């Protein structure tokens, strides 16, 4: 009996330590997308919102009478795990673009359902993981920016809607593997979508346009600890 118990414990410990090693290895694969000091490796497209760096954080500030603004990675990514923290003013909509693109001139694209859409020059388009501090609370849902609109909102995911922390730092985990896009908000599963329209593209940080509402001039969204683990397709 003693030998059997010892063997069982040894096997358990082996599995446990193997799991720890796997997690550690996965964590080691993450690379920062933001150096904490500059916006090197990022390029702005769309509107004229102001992006600055403060205390290891990217700060996006709303500007009146301009469209949606996007700070985009110069690199493109296909399959990956992305993690970051964000904090948003309760009056500002925002989002994280993934597998997104932009054209230098107006371009007609195929939406994959027999229809096409004309995309203006410098218009960022693609999958967006929503940041929504409004009472609707769709943070973590997936919206198709500039193309098809909502692909998966959180109207039927009450747990994810309640996971958002107004006025505080929140954490996203975003996984893209093949046609699978999954999101977690503060550890709570949010979206689980299958869509194959766009297999790769850049990552971008959105500051939504606020029109001419002077009460919203200068309101901000912040992002920090932005890191990515690129995966083999």
77-123 pLDDT, tens digit per residue, is 999 999 999 999 999 999 999 999 999 999 999 999 999 999 999 99
Which residues are registered as beta bridge partners of 107? 119
- This prediction has a pTM of 0.88
Cα 123 to Cα 75, 102, 126, 188, 217, distances in angstroms: 17, 6, 10, 32, 22
Alpha-carbon dihedral of residues 192, 198, 202, 205, nearest 10 degrees?
Answer: -50
CATH of domain 33-230: 2.60.120.560
**pLDDT of 26 strictly over 80:** no
Q: Say how far apart CA 228 and CA 30 lie, in whole Å.
A: 5
Cα 90 to Cα 27, 93, 112, 132, 161, distances in angstroms: 32, 8, 35, 8, 15
Question: Of the ranges 16-20, 112-116, 167-171, 217-221, which one carries the lowest mean pLDDT score?
Answer: 16-20
- The residues, any chain, with a CB within 8 Å of residue 93's CB and separated by 6 or more, are 131, 132, 133, 134, 208
């Amino acid at each position: 009996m003693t030998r059997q118990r010892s063997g069982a414990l040894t096997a358990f410990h082996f599995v446990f330590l193997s799991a720890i090693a796997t997690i550690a290895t996965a964590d080691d694969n993450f690379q920062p997308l933001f150096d904490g000091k500059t916006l090197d490796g990022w390029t702005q497209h769309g509107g004229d919102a102001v992006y600055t760096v403060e205390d290891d954080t990217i700060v996006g500030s709303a500007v009146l009478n301009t469209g949606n603004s996007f700070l985009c990675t110069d690199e493109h990514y296909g399959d990956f795990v992305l993690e970051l923290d964000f904090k948003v003013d309760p009056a500002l909509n925002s989002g994280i673009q993934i597998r997104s693109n932009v054209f230098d001139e107006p371009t007609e694209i195929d939406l994959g359902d027999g229809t096409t859409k004309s995309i203006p020059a410098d218009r960022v388009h693609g999958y967006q993981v929503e940041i929504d501090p409004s009472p609707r609370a769709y943070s973590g849902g997936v919206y198709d920016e500039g193309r098809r609109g909502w692909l998966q909102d959180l109207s039927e995911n009450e747990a994810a809607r309640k996971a958002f922390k107004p006025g505080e730092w929140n954490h996203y985990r975003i996984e893209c593997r093949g046609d699978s896009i999954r999101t977690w908000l503060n550890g709570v599963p949010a979206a689980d979508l299958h869509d194959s329209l766009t297999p790769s593209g850049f990552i971008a940080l959105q500051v939504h346009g606020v029109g001419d509402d002077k009460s919203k001039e200068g309101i901000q969204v912040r992002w920090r600890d932005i890191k990515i683990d690129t995966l083999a397709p």
